[in-house]
Amino acid sequence: MKTIKEIDLSGKRVFVRVDFNVPLDDAQNITDDTRITAVLPTLRYAIDHGARLIVASHLGRPKGKRVPTMSLAPVAQRLGQHLNASVTMAPNCIGPEVVAMADNLGVGEILLLENLRFHPEEQANDAAFAAQLAALCDVYINDAFAVSHRANASVEAITRHVTAAGAGFLLQTELDYFAKAMADPERPLVAIIGGAKVSSKLGALENMIQHVNKFIVGGAMANTFLNSLGHDVGASKVEADLVAVAGEIMAQAAAKGIAFYLPVDVVVAEHFDETAATRIVPVQEIPRGWMALDIGPASISLFSEALADARTIIWNGPMGVFEMAPFSRGTMELVAHVASTDALSIVGGGDTDVAIHNSGLAQQITYMSTGGGAFLHLMEGKTLPAVDALEAVHQS
């Protein structure tokens, strides 16, 4: 796979696929532009090297229809501010008018295409739609790690219609950091896996068991593991069909000499509500009808001790319902412990990223991935379809 630095951009129409799926408030104001700032190095490099820049992204889930509230127009304005340049907003992402706008771009000028997902062909990975996108450019650059696990037209099929293609700086950085954590990590390598469901992380757990030295499991998914050990977890969320599988994963870890840490105490509540009465109890004493919504202080101490000698930490998923103040302590204290280690720490997953940003300790995490789904895809040991497609361009 080539990178943007290996491709001549001078005077070329350069199509850069990015992820500008930013949050908007009711007044269409961008509330967090992290995804915009993440790709600025790639866009600036292209401009500085004489590109005629065409930028493309999706926003939200318009389900193949034009939805005015999901227009990228607010992004065009914010991007222009960051680049200190005028960004022209296209009325569509394909069609004669857009072709003319792309052809008439001057060196250093920037055109932002309208939401790719206004067309159902984007998510269908439609070849004809991809060919129309490819016709806009001379060079294709993928810098959208967050959607590279999806076979969408703008990241997968488009590569079959271009002669020059490569990775942007963000995509390359994401892959490099993940390789550092998995291919030849400094050990001990500790995986922290949290979130709601074992089912959504099962592939990652089964693959990571081939690589890690320690597992730390928290969040609602820990209930299924605790249940497999014979604990009655009250009204806590349990995936009954995966209780036996959870037991098998722990047995595999034990057979490989991998330390497997589960919560030893939890914060429980009678209701899934911020105002509900709460208690801290050992996992053996969860009251009937109550639910575990965070790890407790003894679990925080146990997990922090497990992290003390870590040289590499990979984390996906929170320890509890951190969005509610009574159930945020476990995740936030674990953030502080990870941030205080000397380990290479890589965090992926939207919820975990939010927690780290809220903690104010983001600068002490080595790398925060921009793509939860793509990050998890790599944790499962899979390749990314969009990256495979980029590699194929220069093999043909």
Catalytic residue list: 35, 197, 350, 373
Pairing of strands 278-282, 259-261: unpaired
Neighbours of 313 (CB within 10 A): 25
Contact 142, 165 (CB under 8 A): yes
Q: Dihedral of CA 247/249/250/254: which sign?
A: positive
Residue 266 near residue 281, CB atoms below 8 Å: yes
Query: Distance of CA 234 to CAs 107, 119, 280, Å?
Result: 64, 46, 14
Please confirm whether the linkage preceding 188 is cis (ω < 30° from 0): yes
Closest CA relative to residue 345, chosen from 329, 361, 321: 361
Report CA-CA distances (Å) from 140 to 109, 135, 314, 392.
16, 10, 31, 13
Distance separating alpha carbons of residues 195 and 208, to the nearest angstrom: 16
DSSP 235: T
- Rounded Cα–Cα distance for residues 280 and 136 (Å): 59
Query: Which secondary-structure segment (H or E) carries 108?
Result: none
Tell me which DSSP letter residue 81 carries. Answer: H
Contacts 24+ apart (CB under 8 A), 348-351: 348/314, 348/315, 348/316, 348/372, 348/375, 348/376, 348/379, 349/195, 349/315, 349/316, 349/317, 349/375, 349/376, 351/195, 351/317, 351/318, 351/322
Q: Are 170 and 39 in contact (CB under 8 A)?
A: yes
Closest by CA to 218, choosing from 281, 270, 260, is 260
